[in-house]
Amino acid sequence: MSKSIFIRNASQLVTLQGSSNAPLVKEAMSELGIIENGSIWLEDGVIQAVGLDEELALMYKDRLGDAEIIDASGKLVTPGLVDPHTHLVFGGSREQEFNMRLQGATYMEIMNTGGGIHSTTRQTKAATHEELFQESYERLNQFLLHGVTTVEAKSGYGMDWDTEVKQLEVARQLNEKHVVDVVRTFMGAHAVPKEYKENPDEFVRVLIEEMIPKVAEMGLAEFNDVFCEKGVFTPEQSRQILEAGKRYGLTPKIHADEIEPYEGAELAAEVGAISADHLLKASEKGMKAMAEKGVVGVLLPGTAYFLMAESANGRKMIDLGVPVALSTDCNPGSSPTVSLPFIMNLGCLKMRMTPAEVITAATINAAHAINRGREIGSLEVGKKADVTIFKVENYMKLQYSYGVNHTHTVVKNGQVVVR
Ligand code: NIG
Ligand code: FE
């Protein structure tokens, strides 16, 4: 049995208590449940007690000598950050396209002439399982160093069966071998492969009749995602793909209204998606439909930043009652970063979210976007002992002082993994 951990006397301990059953919306997104001079007792990988330092010190007075004590005075303690949308497992990189975009080429032009997602697909196909594992393992190390303890990971750089399976198997192995938890999403519908360019419906049929049933049968993923975008998959094709996933127990997610308005937010509400992601061009009608159905809006302001586009209207979504989460979208084309804290700063400055709202968005609401709200995302008794300590005195300073990694200590499953 490993040693208990007693994190003591944080200047602010963000608990987000009472948020396990459903994502937080509207004003509740600002209720962080902060305890000043807060402490937390972790044992057997689980949170055992949360409260004022003096209360916990009394409660555990006979066991203080056995525990590892971490002094968090002057520091901010939060739930381990959760990244609910990444394309973690991929081969190669695309800095040449970055350079082309700086000279005026657009993201879609590059993709439609065989680059973009197709370029990463070629590089991912060419990489061995072992190579993909090593590169992604290193990315997970970087996530962890930025305070992230759980990430979602999508396939979609194969679009042929073998490569999709390779990506999902690598993600499964990463979940086993790396301390960061990795939650898997099948995204065979990431682009239409060039062999199917003249007949995209045939590729949709392959996804629906062949790949989705096998992904479900082999237990390769929990979620099923589609890039619903003009020139990629239409709303009707997306609906068919997501409905097929549902029949096999895969929960729908959707890349919606990223580049052009396409009623993707409306579709997310209609199919009962757990989240709709991107939403730069989402309509007000779509936002309202998401709010009504409780679809989490996973916003990716790093992608807008990197594509030099206007961010999603996070402020409006929160005001309309959409539960908002934040994510890096870590991928080699539109957001090559692992810094969720930087994304939180963009959430404030590009989407007018408040510092309190972005904390909620990167913890409990992110957990709900991947169906983990009961296990992680808040510091409550019985939840996983995933905790991040930042070298700042209060939660506002975490976003205010940007471009700096403030992570001090990370505890994952009750073990100190970064210090
Ligand atoms: O979420 N929009 C589609 N998919 C990814 C980008 C993938 C890529 O460019 O490699 C995204 O932005
Ligand atoms: Fe994405």
One-letter amino acid for residue 16 of the chain = L
d(CA 184, CA 11): 36
Atom of ligand 1 nearest to the CA of 107: 9
Ordered mean pLDDT values, 10 residues apiece, the chain (419 residues): 92 98 98 98 98 98 97 98 99 97 96 95 98 98 98 97 98 98 98 95 98 98 98 98 98 98 98 98 98 99 98 98 99 98 98 98 99 98 98 98 97 98
117, 49 contact by CB (below 8 A): no
Task: Write down the H helix ranges in 88-154.
Answer: 95-102, 107-112, 117-126, 129-145
Atom of ligand 1 nearest to the CA of 278: 1
Q: How many helices (H) and strands (E) does the chain have?
A: 17, 18
> Which residue has its alpha carbon closest to ligand 1 atom 9?
333
List of residues 6+ apart from 358 with CB closer than 8 A: 326, 344, 347, 348, 399
Give, for ligand 1, the residue of 95, 113, 117 to mutate: max count of ligand atoms closer than 8 Å to Cβ: 117
Pocket test for ligand 1, best of 94, 186, 329 (most atoms within 8 A of CB): 329
Å from CA of 258 to ligand 2 middle: 10
Q: Could you tell me if 300 and 85 are in contact, meaning their C-beta atoms sit under 8 angstroms apart?
A: yes
Q: Which residues pair with 228 in a beta bridge?
A: 233, 256
Q: Using one digit for the tens of pLDDT, what is the confidence trace for 70-125?
A: 999 999 999 999 999 999 999 999 999 999 999 999 999 999 999 999 999 999 99
Q: Give residue 1's pLDDT.
A: 62
Q: What is the mean pLDDT of the chain?
A: 98
User: Which tens digit of pLDDT belongs to each residue from 193-230?
Assistant: 999 999 999 999 999 999 999 999 999 999 999 999 99
Q: Which helix (H) or strand (E) holds 193?
A: none
Residues with CB under 6 A from ligand 1: 87, 116-117, 120, 227, 255, 258, 303, 329, 331-334
Q: How far apart are CA 301 and CA 351, in angstroms?
A: 8
CB-based contact 374:368 (threshold 8 Å): no
Ligand 1 midpoint to CA 332 (Å): 8
Which pLDDT score is estimated for 366?
99
CA angle 262/264/266 to nearest 5° reads 110
The predicted complex's ipTM stands at 0.97
pLDDT at 331: 98
Predicted local confidence at residue 114, as pLDDT? 92
Cα 96 to middle of ligand 2, angstroms: 20
3-class state of residue 417 by DSSP = strand
CA of 291 to the centre of ligand 2 (A): 21
**What is the pLDDT at residue 2?**
79
Helix (H) or strand (E) holding 67: none
Please give the Cα distance from 272 to 156 (Å, whole number). Answer: 22
Question: Are 331 and 255 contacting, i.e. CB atoms less than 8 angstroms apart?
Answer: no
Whether the pTM exceeds 0.90: the reply is: yes
CA-nearest residue, atom 8 of ligand 1: 333
Nearest 5 degrees, angle CA 389-CA 390-CA 394? 115
User: What is the Cα–Cα distance from 327 to 26, expressed in whole angstroms?
Assistant: 19
Q: What is the C-alpha separation between 247 and 213, in angstroms, rounded? A: 9
For position 159, what pLDDT does the model report? Answer: 87
CA of 274 to the centre of ligand 2 (A): 15
Burial environment of residue 159 by CB neighbours within 10 A (0 to 12, 13 to 18, 19 or more): buried
